Structure 1
């Protein structure tokens, strides 16, 4: 009896899938679905040495040999501000989750891959939200290998004093290390290393944007998928990490002339000490960018400005997407989350929001006097006039002012940066497609209490990954139609370099004659043109006419941030 038990146990264990890599073997599990499809899942596969002790604030190093270990549970998430005190966090967080078809490909080269990077404004987030059985069922079952890496966030991922000894961008170097790991082990991932799509949402999209042009990463993958995010935004690329690191150094009394000595001092501090110092140093009064630690131009990961890097990069096929009003998520959806989103309107502020509040926001936050000097009134009047004239005066009510407040935030953080990137890459000959997600049944059903019902940032999560950031939603017939369209577009793009298919032909490549052509996705796919043309024209003109670039958050001549003026 004991012998039979031992035999059955060995049989069960031997049936578990094994991922063989250059650093050892990882025993995962097989996910089975009702349609007979099987997917091998491996959770918490290390791709770098733990970035702790002497490796804190250093580029990641290749992981040491681990022989064999289980890979059946999600990894701890990277250190971040835990607003709900519910996260299992660790500095030892450089792991990826891998999903591959159970059977190897009939194509000797393997399956195409999707390397998907989580969002969270480079401050929060993890691989968990994109590592669901839903992803296995809807992507991997279609013959795609899905890899979801983690990367260092906030202070731990992007602190910097400026010089090369402490240059920052460690989170981006983590993603490079993960890509190298994937390519090195492509055969056992059943992956065609020549057909990797790097994609992401929010910060993940901005990171994808960065990886697509950096000399260190741009040749490691074939094409890009950017869902509401670009490296052309102030919150995704600025020198603010240096300013904030200097404040933390002062608070923790790590002052020294040498960046190497400063880094050594910071390594001696506990995670808690660093977190407390970061909170003390944080201040976003009078700023649209509320995120302290993000990528920066470092003369290393980015060897030149982004425009020049685009011109010198080999063009990649890229699928972009946006929503109708990206800023709604940051202005009214999380009325309780003012710590992370300081421009979110509390319930009380929403109930009283009016013209005076909108004007004050433009004058004090978007275009303050210390930035524009004697041209302050000129600039603010133009911005106020542009947004308020979008509807006749008789429709100017509380709901309208909230809608314009949100739209202004979304245009600056997401829409304009993405359209500027589109413009640069179109001129450089990249093959680009653009989607506008307008299906909003989730909002009209679940969030009726909200003042504005346009689609917004992250609304597509429930359809793409099986769980969203806005609560549970039971899919209706129209939801199913939209889900099929958006999933098919992405899966087809990963497999063929174009979202266009026989079942869904209404996608068109952007070109110089129609630089803003796009596909509107709801229950149907409709080609339209142009996308946010008036907004792009307005902000482009404003940027040309004045010395400070509001979208990029820098003084064009001195390259100083608004806080340095």
Structure 2
């Protein structure tokens, strides 16, 4: 109920004492969404403000809305939205924090608005995000009265918001279906909604300051950098929290989410099925399950549910985002004893695994502190060979420096210091320095006033605790309420609140009585020390701790390892200090010295990466080898990059990946037409004549990137063996392989890119210690087929000496087909571009954006139900391939070749419906369960051997395949026919083309070592799968940072033994031209034994007969007798002029 102003004139003072907002004056505003009715609140100073509580900004979730991005509320006009009571709070992650009489719901996306006047205009705005470790808290806990008194009354529109918490807001299974960060998307939506309604409340959307405390501060920090939110406000106030804190950005949430799903009996290999199951669980069941698996952990990252790098909200590392984001003025700081409340109060043990019970305060000892350092902060499991030196630094500093032996209070203080440094202070310093490097004006503060009250007097640690400042501008009192009469504490609060208000209004916290300059390169840690007085200090607060973490520790522990453990989220620790002279260059990818190499093109600056075994390697990422291929260069051969000397380029991050279908996009990767980059990993600068491994990624010519394969494991497994490793990008899909079948658009541009990369690498390799006469070109899948093609083309075959072909041949139908011409013409028709005039058609396509082209391809279809599932691939063009492969092989320089396949290549595609976008032969789960002989016969008749393609030969051809793959017995279960279906596709796409190429090599006297990978992994048992064995790509994780279906488990020794055998064979071949080792003799194929091979599993066995000799006999003997070779070349066995049959069969 609202009372009229006339009724209240004589009774105003009485009614001002009433706490129920519904009995106050009505305040009504008209917004683009409809009317909102709030109430008037008069401050203690008699200043009227207008309060609107529980304003809905997000839709109520439907039955399947959990774990999804929020949707903006719909307009409610012509109705009036009542906004006189706080909306429901978002459900916390544990029953422990369910406050009696509090209203909790999943329908909780509400905000509250407090404005000084409804007639105002262009007022500054303060959006406050509550804390609570991303797992607890609500906007109603901060009330509205003191925000009105201390902030809104100063002419500022104040907004507080709810956002989803715990598993409801941050659950993630680590993939694009369940990426996490929903709570951050909620906050972003709240900002977008505000932009719509702020003018109605007098607010200026161009003067928004986003601030928060603790996790709310980390959120504000994150919102500054994400491209989805960084244009929605102009300033930030960060109170005790940075997105660079370990608890604010960690991949550990994925494992915790899986544990939760498992506890609820929902965990499935399919993310979609897992989420569907969780949708069926009640919110109460979910938080009960969290209680069962544990609400916290004894770890430096105490939280279980929080943000993570997802590739979408955070598409890049924070440093890069900071560089690309609009600059913001920032006021940020911390208290001097942040973590004291977490280590001293067992009442918070549901939130922090670091809490000590009060009886333990008196007995806390040196041994307890050292144990914490050894078992929590620096563990052997996480830090390996660096652990001992890392621990020594921390023990020296936190235990032994000025040690008061036997003094429990001393050790408790140091325990609190260590936790505070790790969780709050050092991440704050990181962020300040990143901003300084990018010229963001930043004002730094440290709160150092300790409240005077009896509970604090009993504590062994004194100072300003986490949250002490809240009582000075919100209705929250922090952990301990402040006693009346503490004038110094009140003065401290006035100082802080005044600085806050000044910054919101002016972008500068200074006042007439106190000049507060921002940090500078000369004084990067100067700060305001805020107590009952304001003091500007030019040196860093806890400068010795800053020196420890930003200088001493990085000299013992690589930055790469620190980012994985104690100092996550940053690619660089940028330190400009008065006690250190620019220890590292800006944006150094790790905490090590730069690696600088002088090349014929100019200097290149990379970084050192120390392997887990302590072997130093030098890494150079994102070296441009080709000019950007956009605009007029689209669909043209690549051009080599110009020399940049006397300049210097930074090579510390992967370059952009080449455009590919959106279904293949990986979170955190940028896609572009400016993508021709290589990466070099070398064992040690200064060495000479090292062998080189030039690796080409796969992805069926339509997806993939060198970025996906990383550099760490290539350094660990290959470069550390004395080999220079090179990985490359090349154009994909229509950008790399579009062809109109004539000289204006012959296709094969991706192969020309690879050739240019080889030429460029040969210019650079001597500078990196590589021998250009010892280059081995290798790849996997389409990368292997590319390496195969490069062996034969006269444009590339003199550029390297050896090849490693992992599951791919240029004789495979997907690697060489004229079908690309018709697909390319269909793309032109989709845009209405002329097809009959190729040049005009290309000019028309050049007017389209990459996104439009990709969207058009996806509209047409990215794959086909055909043995050649690939739509854009190489073809015999008369230029890159001036003749058929068989003819080119006769004149190409001889090469030594290591080539092979897995025993179940196509199982990856046929058994995995998530691959349907690239392989239309994929079967869904239901199709697999019911797959029958009739389904297999239908596939043979309608897909493999059609009347249209094979004419009068079709019947005989089909019967041969039916007899071999389907048999005559119709009583088998679906698993038998699924195995046969997989075998047929594996033979067609991988095994038979491999055998054809091997025999071609034998005819031309190329030394060729053949293998078949036959290890059935134990890391992810394929129980219930009809097809067992090694799938396409299973070998990759043994030498790259990529895996196909699931990562290897460290505990599965057999898997690692297999991997060790395989990688050792590969390294031996790269170095010696022979994969043999002292313990295993591996002979090349010979005319007497043309298919002898190494069978690689946990044990290595040499076999003199062919793998799947019956399939070999079928395709290379029986079928050619029934179907002409010319017809086979046009259909199922392209690329050869004849089927070369030398058999022992």
Q: TM-score range by the shorter chain?
A: over 0.9
Verify the 8 A CA contact 1:158 1:295 in the aligned structure 2: yes
Counterpart of 1:447 in 2: which secondary structure? Answer: helix
Counterpart of 1:185 in 2: which secondary structure? Answer: helix
Verify the 8 A CA contact 2:57 2:110 in the aligned structure 1: yes
> CA distance change for structure 1 residues 284 and 26 in 2, over 3 Å: closer, same or farther?
closer
Verify the 8 A CA contact 1:78 1:92 in the aligned structure 2: yes
> CA distance change for structure 1 residues 543 and 83 in 2, over 3 Å: closer, same or farther?
farther
* More moved, 252-261 vs 344-353: 252-261
> CA distance change for structure 1 residues 356 and 182 in 2, over 3 Å: closer, same or farther?
same
Structure 1 residue 92 corresponds to structure 2 residue 133: no
* Residue of structure 2 equivalent to 1:408: 418
Counterpart of 2:127 in 1: which secondary structure? Answer: strand
When Rg is computed on C-alpha atoms for both structures, the one with the higher figure is 2
Verify the 8 A CA contact 2:212 2:237 in the aligned structure 1: yes
* Displacement of 1:301: 0.5
* Residue of structure 2 equivalent to 1:382: 393
Counterpart of 2:389 in 1: which secondary structure? Answer: helix
* Displacement of 1:83: 2.0
* Displacement of 1:286: 5.0
d(CA) in 1 for partners of 2:386, 2:478: 40
> CA distance change for structure 1 residues 538 and 471 in 2, over 3 Å: closer, same or farther?
closer
* Displacement of 1:390: 4.2
Structure 1 residue 358 corresponds to structure 2 residue 373: no
Counterpart of 1:351 in 2: which secondary structure? Answer: coil
Counterpart of 1:319 in 2: which secondary structure? Answer: strand
Q: Structure 2 regions of 5+ residues with no counterpart? A: 9-21, 572-589, 591-711, 714-1040, 1043-1048, 1052-1145
Structure 1 residue 28 corresponds to structure 2 residue 41: no
d(CA) in 2 for partners of 1:167, 1:465: 33
> CA distance change for structure 1 residues 42 and 544 in 2, over 3 Å: closer, same or farther?
farther
Structure 1 residue 450 corresponds to structure 2 residue 465: no
Structure 1 residue 245 corresponds to structure 2 residue 254: no
* Residue of structure 2 equivalent to 1:330: 342
* Residue of structure 1 equivalent to 2:193: 181
* Residue of structure 1 equivalent to 2:581: none
> CA distance change for structure 1 residues 491 and 362 in 2, over 3 Å: closer, same or farther?
same
Counterpart of 1:301 in 2: which secondary structure? Answer: coil
d(CA) in 1 for partners of 2:487, 2:347: 32
* Residue of structure 1 equivalent to 2:162: 150
Structure 1 residue 513 corresponds to structure 2 residue 525: no
> CA distance change for structure 1 residues 386 and 52 in 2, over 3 Å: closer, same or farther?
farther
* Displacement of 1:51: 2.8
* Displacement of 1:214: 0.4
Structure 1 residue 199 corresponds to structure 2 residue 211: yes
> CA distance change for structure 1 residues 124 and 317 in 2, over 3 Å: closer, same or farther?
same
* Residue of structure 1 equivalent to 2:448: 438
Verify the 8 A CA contact 2:337 2:462 in the aligned structure 1: no
* More moved, 296-305 vs 64-73: 64-73
Match of 2:63 among 53, 58, 75: 53
d(CA) in 2 for partners of 1:122, 1:533: 30
d(CA) in 2 for partners of 1:257, 1:122: 27
Structure 1 residue 264 corresponds to structure 2 residue 279: no
d(CA) in 1 for partners of 2:24, 2:414: 59
Counterpart of 2:545 in 1: which secondary structure? Answer: helix
Structure 1 residue 213 corresponds to structure 2 residue 225: yes
Verify the 8 A CA contact 1:158 1:294 in the aligned structure 2: yes
Verify the 8 A CA contact 2:113 2:157 in the aligned structure 1: yes
Matches within 5 A, 1:107-126: 108=121, 110-126=122-138
Match of 1:345 among 347, 356, 372: 356
Verify the 8 A CA contact 2:26 2:39 in the aligned structure 1: yes
Structure 1 residue 470 corresponds to structure 2 residue 468: no
> CA distance change for structure 1 residues 14 and 361 in 2, over 3 Å: closer, same or farther?
closer
Verify the 8 A CA contact 1:205 1:228 in the aligned structure 2: yes
Counterpart of 2:105 in 1: which secondary structure? Answer: coil
* Residue of structure 1 equivalent to 2:83: 71
Moved segments of 4+, more than 6 Å = none
Verify the 8 A CA contact 1:286 1:368 in the aligned structure 2: no
* Residue of structure 1 equivalent to 2:293: 281
Verify the 8 A CA contact 1:79 1:90 in the aligned structure 2: yes
Cα RMSD over matched residues? 2.5
Structure 1 residue 137 corresponds to structure 2 residue 152: no
Higher relative contact order (CA 8 A, sep 6+): 1
> CA distance change for structure 1 residues 520 and 396 in 2, over 3 Å: closer, same or farther?
farther
Verify the 8 A CA contact 1:52 1:92 in the aligned structure 2: no
Counterpart of 1:502 in 2: which secondary structure? Answer: coil
d(CA) in 2 for partners of 1:113, 1:131: 17
* Residue of structure 2 equivalent to 1:317: 329
* Residue of structure 2 equivalent to 1:423: 433
Cα deviation digits, residues 199-231 of structure 1 (max 9, x gap): 000000000010001000001001000000001
Verify the 8 A CA contact 1:230 1:236 in the aligned structure 2: yes
> CA distance change for structure 1 residues 8 and 525 in 2, over 3 Å: closer, same or farther?
closer
* Displacement of 1:24: 2.5
Verify the 8 A CA contact 1:100 1:146 in the aligned structure 2: yes
d(CA) in 2 for partners of 1:168, 1:515: 34
Q: Structure 1 regions of 5+ residues with no counterpart? A: none
* Displacement of 1:300: 0.6
* Displacement of 1:62: 1.0
Verify the 8 A CA contact 2:36 2:82 in the aligned structure 1: yes
d(CA) in 1 for partners of 2:103, 2:241: 27
Counterpart of 1:435 in 2: which secondary structure? Answer: strand
d(CA) in 2 for partners of 1:331, 1:441: 19
Counterpart of 2:227 in 1: which secondary structure? Answer: coil
* Residue of structure 2 equivalent to 1:37: 47
Cα deviation digits, residues 178-204 of structure 1 (max 9, x gap): 001111111112101100000000000
> CA distance change for structure 1 residues 564 and 246 in 2, over 3 Å: closer, same or farther?
farther
* Displacement of 1:508: 1.3
**Number of corresponding residues:** 551
Cα deviation digits, residues 345-386 of structure 1 (max 9, x gap): 101221210101001110100101212234433221210111
> CA distance change for structure 1 residues 83 and 276 in 2, over 3 Å: closer, same or farther?
closer
* Displacement of 1:564: 8.4
> CA distance change for structure 1 residues 53 and 446 in 2, over 3 Å: closer, same or farther?
same
Verify the 8 A CA contact 1:224 1:317 in the aligned structure 2: yes
d(CA) in 2 for partners of 1:485, 1:401: 32
d(CA) in 2 for partners of 1:259, 1:232: 28
* Displacement of 1:233: 1.1
* Displacement of 1:163: 2.0
> CA distance change for structure 1 residues 285 and 104 in 2, over 3 Å: closer, same or farther?
closer
* More moved, 450-459 vs 551-560: 551-560
Verify the 8 A CA contact 1:324 1:455 in the aligned structure 2: yes
* More moved, 44-53 vs 195-204: 44-53
* Residue of structure 1 equivalent to 2:117: 102
d(CA) in 2 for partners of 1:390, 1:465: 39
d(CA) in 2 for partners of 1:155, 1:32: 39
Cα deviation digits, residues 214-264 of structure 1 (max 9, x gap): 000001001000000001011100112211122222222323343223222
> CA distance change for structure 1 residues 347 and 15 in 2, over 3 Å: closer, same or farther?
closer
Matches within 5 A, 1:11-26: 15-26=25-36
d(CA) in 2 for partners of 1:564, 1:40: 60
> CA distance change for structure 1 residues 309 and 113 in 2, over 3 Å: closer, same or farther?
same
Cα deviation digits, residues 15-58 of structure 1 (max 9, x gap): 50013333332211100134331000011000010234221111
